[in-house]
Amino acid sequence: MKTPKRYLVPEDFMADPSVHVFNDKLYIYPSHDWESGVPENDNGDHFNMKDYHVFSLDDVMDGKMTDHGVGLRVEDIPWAGRQLWDCDVTCKDGKYYMYFPLKDKNDIFRIGVAISDKPEGPFIPEPDPIRGSYSMDIAVFEEDGKYYLYFGGLWGGQLQRYKDNKALECATFPADDEPAIPSRVVQLTDDMLQFAEEPKPVVILDEEGIPITAGDIDRRFFEASWLHKYNGKYYFSYSTGNSHRLCYATGDNPYGPFTYQGVILTPVVGWTTHHSIVEYKGKWYLFHHDSVPSGGRTWLRSLKVCELQYDKDGKIITIEGLDE
């Protein structure tokens, strides 16, 4: 399906949007791409991300984007090393909690928490990262007063360095015919500052109920977890990374397992695809990014949005990425 798309911040390079409705407005929490001068590589060292801006919007396709300025920067965080990759924000009891991945001083990704009284920030970081946290690409889902945090990404996201929530001496990848490395999900503590349990794998099954394999690069998880609910079903969506698709699977609870359903967005210009899905004023929207404005440089990406639609059976109608 070809559908009208809108660039949201044409004057700057923003990516990896996490989007939520707070106080009847859409709030957008993207990562911020800067020209780093570092040659591009598979570890993502060229992504020089130093801060987060917070944006709001009250009309998706035509409204003015409000830039609320910097919500959090690397130098604000006591344990910081480098690279603030994508974040997400949720609200509980009038407080707003930002969960962010950041490499520590040993260049290992941890997940931190920063808190604000307002959805636009500024966010004040906790002095230490969440105990037992690792990897990146954060999404938070709330239901019935319980908050679930999804995370994980391969290659530069370091997920291949862990097994059963323990660090490995050497990174390992499964063989092509073995189950793919999964994303993780964990419930948060009541104070929103720690994991309430051991993170669990988010298993994606094929149509026969068999876990998707590592060699199935068109369907296996790579990064960019997101969860939303539609008509009583849980939709787990994600990026396939080096095959450049946004895909989704459905399940009966936030932990899964989830059964593969199809492609949300076909490849766009630029290496990475990262997104969020949100309902606003009776319509559903897909927020994502591409690298068209920067001339295809994968580390300088720009925010986009388009409407997302379902068919009568609840299947997401595939959106064509390259329709400019």
At 84 the pLDDT is: 94
> Residue 294: its pLDDT value, please?
87
Catalytic residue set: 16, 223
CA-nearest of 9, 14, 52 to 300 is: 14
User: 88-97 burial string, b = 16+ CB within 10 Å, else e?
Assistant: bbbbeeeebb
Position 42 scores a pLDDT of 67
Residue whose tokens read 């989704």: 248
d(CA 112, CA 89): 12
The pLDDT score that the predictor gives to residue 271 is: 75
How confident is the chain (324 residues) per 10-residue block, as mean pLDDT?
A: 89 94 97 78 72 95 94 96 94 98 96 98 98 97 97 96 96 97 98 98 98 98 98 98 96 98 95 91 97 83 96 97 72
The pLDDT assigned to 270 comes to 86
Residue 41: predicted pLDDT: 66
What is the predicted pLDDT for the residue at 34?
A: 78
Which residue ranges make up each domain of the chain? 5-308
- What the block records as the tokens of 282 is 């009776």
What's the confidence (pLDDT) of residue 323? Answer: 64
CATH code at 5-308: 2.115.10.20
Q: Which residues contact 297 (CB under 8 A, 6 or more apart)?
A: 270, 291
